Copies of this chain bind each other. A is one copy, B any other.
């Protein structure tokens, strides 16, 4: 008899199970938003505090084969910063928990820490504490504390039917970059760099955040993030595949890799662009690319003009 494992149960299901356990816990919640968004949003006095944690694990979220220690350290900060700016906030304090194998070279460790410190400095984040342990695998687990004004906080749950769905930049580059690195393909430096040196995109929405309803960072592909927004906002969406911004480099790499560039954009990870929704009337005042629209009807559909097909979790059919 096979034992039921965490892997088999699926991560999303587990996270839901956790959320239910916590809810059952029955205590009065102090948080405004708990599990289910990029960050927790908790009131502290008159302010709102954002709390998030993200772990980078060797062999899963990065590989020492192609990422330098500095790049690994930088990425660990940026992916967390991305969660904070996706809620309209700014990061302030970091706790850095490092798990290091017993024989890990000191030079590499120093490189990782240099990356963490320099990314934190660039984002005006103060590293206030941490923890160092030995373990079988290199893990960088960072918790970030940020703030957001009550007027600026943007959640996954605030999309309204009729809203336009927009993204801040090209999608799919990072996922294609990773595949090129894996296959040891020369060239395509911008795609590889998008994967190796992700940067959070908070600056791109600063000028018009007041028009944004729902927002989220794109860490797992546009399809997954659109699903999050639809689930949390209890709405549906139509995505326009032909409107998804794809770089010329991605198109070229996709031909070489014999894949559809759109599959990288919809189902690839690590872009760290932002996806957000706005009322259509705000479009003239907003920068970015319209990639779809929120619908009252639940479910996510890909629309190629006259035909529309339901989005499936791990793939799509061409029009």
Contacts and interface: CB of A to CB of B under 8 A. Distances in A.
Contacts of A260: none
A257 interface: no
A255 interface: no
Nearest to A110: B17
Interface in A43-98: 44-47, 49, 51-55, 57, 60-61, 92-93, 95-97
Contact of A44 (B44, B105, B107, B113): B44
Interface residues of A, number: 75
A29 B127 CA distance: 9
Interface string A9-49: 10100110110011001110111001100011010111101
A117 interface: yes
B52 A129 contact: yes
Contacts of A103: 3, 5, 7
A137 B135 contact: yes
Interface stretch (A138-146, A169-177, A209-217): A138-146
Contact of A102 (B5, B95, B124): B5
Interface string A234-263: 000000000000000000000000000000
A139 B109 CA distance: 20
A39 to B, nearest CB: 7
A128 B44 contact: no
Nearest to A12: B132
B92 A57 contact: no
A73 to B, nearest CB: 11
B106 A55 contact: no
A114 interface: yes
A166 B130 CA distance: 27
Contacts of A53: 95-97, 129-131, 141, 143
A121 interface: yes
A104 interface: yes
A124 B25 CA distance: 11
Contacts of A54: 97, 131
Closest 3 CB pairs of A and B: A40-B128, A143-B143, A40-B129
Interface of A: 3-9, 11, 14-15, 17-18, 21-22, 25-27, 29-31, 34-35, 39-40, 42, 44-47, 49, 51-55, 57, 60-61, 92-93, 95-97, 99-100, 102-107, 109-110, 113-114, 117, 120-121, 124, 126-137, 139, 141, 143, 145
27 contacts: A5-B103, A5-B105, A5-B106, A14-B109, A17-B113, A18-B127, A18-B132, A21-B117, A27-B124, A30-B93, A30-B126, A34-B126, A42-B92, A42-B145, A44-B47, A45-B45, A51-B95, A53-B97, A55-B97, A55-B131, A57-B99, A57-B134, A60-B134, A61-B133, A97-B97, A143-B143, A145-B145
